[in-house]
Structure 1
């Protein structure tokens, strides 16, 4: 498996350690909910926020484009909010959130991940 397949497998397997291990030492992750790029175990901790709120979280990957160490993936995040989301009780609502993730890969390691999704849509679907 390539590191991108392992990346999605770690997300689906709720495996923070496996997720973090795919990054280069200077690798970073950022999405609309992060204040700044995350490094190391902060990446795994951030993923745990999603896994706690959406224990059945799955990414349905719709398209993958590759060129010279850059990979772009469009996806839809699906799950039911049956867990706490940053201290807020579960809403029981179904989430169906479209988004995209851009990867920079260097020597088979993730140098950077930038994920894009609409926070307003996410919060509305979570019933916040």
Structure 2
């Protein structure tokens, strides 16, 4: 894909995330998409699992927002970085909310194929997010290990 096509699709994707419109988010992905949270060692594949992963994040952090600060492009890939901001307001992987707010750096790698996003791979510091959000890093890691989609990617 050309850079401007990737950027337009990624902007549509971000707007759908802001609106919490899961159908619109999923429309930006290929049918065999993935969602990988590197900090948790979790990767899910397919639209149903990707929808569930998004729903879990937005349930756990109802006001989460990525504040994009920069991006770069490669062959069929966009890399975006900035800060994730949010509040622990719901259960995350079955762990009760801590109630704290957080601001942590993130990087997001989104490869493209067939005119859509093939998936997302997000990087952030889990320990810092948990500390700020009032969550137990150990409980979150244990819950992530027990969850479907855990393990090496």
State the aligned residue count: 128
Specify the alignment match of 1:28 in structure 2: 34
- Note the C-alpha offset of 1:34: 5.0
Specify the alignment match of 2:122 in structure 1: 115
- Note the C-alpha offset of 1:10: 2.0
Residue segments in structure 2 that go unaligned for 5+ positions in a row: 1-6, 137-153
Q: TM-score, normalised by structure 2?
A: 0.74
Specify the alignment match of 1:8 in structure 2: 14
- Please identify the structure whose Cα radius of gyration is greater: 2
After superposition, where does 1:42-121 map in structure 2 within 5 Å? 42-121=49-128
- Does 2:43 correspond to 1:40? no
Kept in 2: contact 1:74–1:101 (CA 8 A): yes
Specify the alignment match of 2:149 in structure 1: none
Moved over 4 A (4+): none
Bigger shift: residues 9-18 or 54-63: 9-18
1:21-64 Cα deviation digits (max 9, x unpaired) = 21112222211235334221211111111111211111100001
Residue segments in structure 1 that go unaligned for 5+ positions in a row: none
- Note the C-alpha offset of 1:7: 1.6
SS of the aligned residue for 1:88 comes to coil
Q: TM-score, normalised by structure 1?
A: 0.87
Structure 1 or 2: larger helix share? Answer: 2
Kept in 1: contact 2:110–2:117 (CA 8 A): yes
Partners of 2:53 and 2:126 in 1: how far apart?
15
